[in-house]
Structure 1
């Protein structure tokens, strides 16, 4: 069973926006959709390293601000002709709070 850490109030993340959580192995972007779903993925586009947290959220996708790659927030897969993916992490909402799986905080730890 996954353990989760409370990272913010849902209202702290703007609709169709993101917040960044710094971890020992890199930053994780936590996204909020227009209908209040939350998703988490590494905050680095595999194409040129663009900060996905600064991208445009549309539906359940985010567009990289540097070169327009579009990623599915649920799977991390690039859409269309581009290939690539971003690691995703479990996130959920409980009682108006956003919870992030602690597994993403521990990845790469020996």
Structure 2
């Protein structure tokens, strides 16, 4: 059974923007696409540790603000010639509220 936690309203995150959720084991970046889809990734690029929440959201991807690595918001995989992956976390929108899977957040490895 999934334990969903409410982290705020969809409108709290600008379109093509992000919000950081702090957990005991590190930060999670919650992204809103231009089409109001929501995705959650660890807020740390595996390349140089850049804050992905400060990156540029385009389509279903985010570009790291430090060295322009591009990651899929769906899978966390680096795109193009870059190699690496960022952990993802289940997220959904229900009645205009963003919900994250609390069980998966609690199970994540420390950042």
The more displaced of 96-105 and 47-56 is 96-105
Show the counterpart of 2:15: 15
For 1:21-100, what aligned pairs fall within 5 Å after superposition? 21-100=21-100
Q: Which 4+ stretches in 1 moved above 4 angstroms?
A: none
- In the superposition, the TM-score normalised over structure 2's length comes to 0.95
**Number of residues of Structure 1 aligned to a counterpart in Structure 2:** 109
Instruction: Measure, in 2, the Cα distance between the counterparts of 1:89 and 1:19.
Output: 14
Is the Cα–Cα contact under 8 Å of residues 28 and 42 in structure 2 kept in the other structure? yes
Gaps of 5+ in 1: none
The more displaced of 83-92 and 100-109 is 100-109
* 1:108 to partner: Cα distance: 4.9
Is the Cα–Cα contact under 8 Å of residues 20 and 43 in structure 2 kept in the other structure? yes
Q: CA RMSD in A?
A: 1.1
Gaps of 5+ in 2: none
Instruction: Measure, in 1, the Cα distance between the counterparts of 2:18 and 2:11.
Output: 11
Is the Cα–Cα contact under 8 Å of residues 25 and 107 in structure 1 kept in the other structure? no
Is the Cα–Cα contact under 8 Å of residues 24 and 105 in structure 1 kept in the other structure? no
- In the superposition, the TM-score normalised over structure 1's length comes to 0.96
Task: Give a deviation string over 1:11-42, Cα, whole Å, max 9, x none.
Answer: 00010000000001100000000000000000
Distance 1:107-1:15 versus aligned 2 partners, 3 A rule = same
Show the counterpart of 2:2: 2
